[in-house]
Amino acid sequence: MENWKALALHYGTAERPRADLSLEHVDEHDALGRIDYFVWLIRHAGRLFLIDTGFSPEEGEIRGRTMLINPIEALGLLGINTADVTDVIVTHLHYDHAGNLSTFPCATFHLQDEEMAYGTGRCMCHERMRRPFAAEAVIDAVRLVFAGKVQFHKGDVVLEPGLSLHLIGGHSRGLQVVRLEEDGQVIVFASDALHFMSYLRESDVFPLFADYPDVVEGYEKLKRLAGPRGRIVPGHDPLVVRLSHTEK
């Protein structure tokens, strides 16, 4: 385990009606679909980056999600203390991506301007728009701003040579993805810019979004970021677990 550069931490799962996982028409008699939950660790340029922080145990229980392991405990099993994390990349402020923000005392938090404005602005007056947000997670993000721990970004930015953030929006107004290029390999951590790989083939989208055109146009940006030989890693696909086991 000493030589890893990027790790997926599979911390949660849920079975949902397929109509909850697809905007396109599905047969009401279809079996349940599975959605998995991940956070990602990246070692790069002497820094330890955590992509998202998962949902809290309380929020997972409220929403009927199964927490396989608390993401914080998962880090501990790898010998990583929360104080070791130098940077937390918050792809967006939905409950399952920003649920444990207050747990990382030494980290700089990377967030898009548009995401903070969206998660604290007038759109949250509408139930459907605020549904994937947890008030406590957003409040934690505001507290981090006042503590001087948030580095805001406006669009695409290079954090270190080979590691960059890219604004896509769509699913949430300020959704950003992470591109890692190292040793000639490119990986794009898509987060909720692409929930499932099948969406690329079927031009489907997750049925909760801030802007539909930005979602589908975001698929093309993901492809450009990955290039012809790069890999796009979807945010919630059980395929991620199967591929990880295959490649061990």
Mean pLDDT of the chain: 93
Closest CA to 134 of 94, 183, 193: 94
Model pTM above 0.75 = yes
User: What is the model's pLDDT at position 76?
Assistant: 97
Closest CA to 100 of 11, 209, 196, 167: 11
Burial 24-41 (b: 16+ CB within 10 A, else e): eeeeeeeeebebbbbbbb
pLDDT tens track for 71-94 = 999 999 999 999 999 999 999 999
User: What is the model's pLDDT at position 242?
Assistant: 73
User: What is the model's pLDDT at position 30?
Assistant: 58
Residues of the chain short of pLDDT 70, as ranges, are: 1-2, 17-20, 23-32, 243-248
User: What is the model's pLDDT at position 31?
Assistant: 58
User: What is the model's pLDDT at position 248?
Assistant: 39
3-state helix, strand, coil in the chain (%, to 5): 30, 30, 40
User: What is the model's pLDDT at position 4?
Assistant: 85
